[in-house]
A and B are shown apart, each in its own frame.
Chain A
Amino acid sequence: MSLSLFSSLLVNGLAMGVIYAMLAMGLILLIRAVGILNFAQGDLLMFGAYITAALVLDVELPMYLMVPASLVFFALIGLIFMFTIYWPLRKATYPAATIIATMGASIILKELATIIWGSQPRTMPSLLTTPEGKAAVIRIGNFTLQGQYVLIIVVGAVLMFGVFMLFERLYVGRMMQAACQDPYAANLLGVPTILTISATYIIVATLAGVGGFMVAPIFMVRNTLGTLQLRAFAGVVIGGFGNIKGAIIGSLLVGIVESFSTVGFSGYKDVTVFLLLIIFLLVRPQGLFGEKIADKA
């Protein structure tokens, strides 16, 4: 394999891995903040992609307006999602009920997208373009890297780093975790649970939406973008559940493996990724960074 092919696959893999990682991060945040699996995570990404496509293609906003506008939309979606899917079910005794509600949300998001924007996939232009309008390409030494991929990696990394810092280091993040682990006690301590949970959902929706926006030029905007979440699930498990760091690294790994397996087993690349997952589950169920579940009384 030539070095240039290798580097190209690596960058491609890392870029997709970053997308998966943003989805995975959102998943973990929701699990830790509200304790549910969100099976509509990928559809949040998909919807975000559609929204940015609409802003760029239909409303024709320039970039410096489109970015804040789309962020506003992502936040709105996050809030609506929370109030419709999570809030009525927060006291549910059947945890499966919340999960299935997210499945319903997934269907709703897909159908809304199709109803509003039609069933034809839409093409988003690449964000970095050469003066001729073609997708930008970055040359480092002998290597040629697709501009969009590099952009994904950079933007995604910055965003995830910011969210990670928020949750792990800042007081705000601790408040949110407290609200999740023991909402009653958190309330007594003056933590405004509804605010923290709303904030979590907004962050999650934004992560997904930005992911959608970034991935749109590569995949075309279509309502099946939601299936990307399956790779994120794999990343979460490989990295070790409940662990943001692990989820990110696991997802990056998934992206890279997926990218490299297109050489040789193109049709079977799904198999490679998910077999990797299953092998991981066998050999190291706590994932790369998960803690062994301690003995409890």
Chain B
Amino acid sequence: MRVVIAEDSTLVREGLTRLLAESGIEVAAAVGDAESFLRAVDAQQPDAVVVDVRLPPTFSDEGLRAALVVRQRWPGTGVLVLSQYVEERYATELLGGRGDGPAHRAAADQGAGVGYLLKDRVGNIAELLDALHRVAGGGSALDPEVVSQLLTRRGRPLDTLTARERQVLALMAEGRSNAAIAATLVVGPGAVEKHISAIFAKLGLPPTEADHRRVLAVLAYLGA
């Protein structure tokens, strides 16, 4: 897999480059600002990009906006956004779940992989690589913290779910596949499928198979 990294802190950029390289991922370019990031993506056509939300010059959300541009212009490229803080508002903008604009919707429809993780997760190589592979493969990776923000914000209808169903819903929202959910909860795949159909029935969601669409459905329901 080939990736392009955009991260303004030299320290983190170098570390990330080495870490990915040592894990067998080719880092095609590692840059420090949004403009050179977009140029690098254009030139390298990577399988996935890793972007920090805050980039120069204003250090507000340049990285996020650059990520949206990538999603719109190169829909086949998986986008993994890293941030010191995760905000569900950023997550929904990124996923285009709320339909902020035609570009977002188009990107969502084309099923480009997208992920949004707390920067802390880079300390866990397996987790990071799993997320990166998921977004490169067109899936999603949402930080559990964002998911829990969404789950707590939406109150009452979720009360009808059992504790186990809520666990499954959270993992689904993170972008996990049925198999991954089964492995995490140490249950059989059949049990997971049963839970999922119960959740979809209780929340009145149309049943769907593809992981990414499933995430969007869940997020749409959660009011994201």
Q: Do A and B bind each other?
A: no
Which residue numbers of A lie inside 8 Å of B, CB to CB? none
Which residue numbers of B lie inside 8 Å of A, CB to CB? none
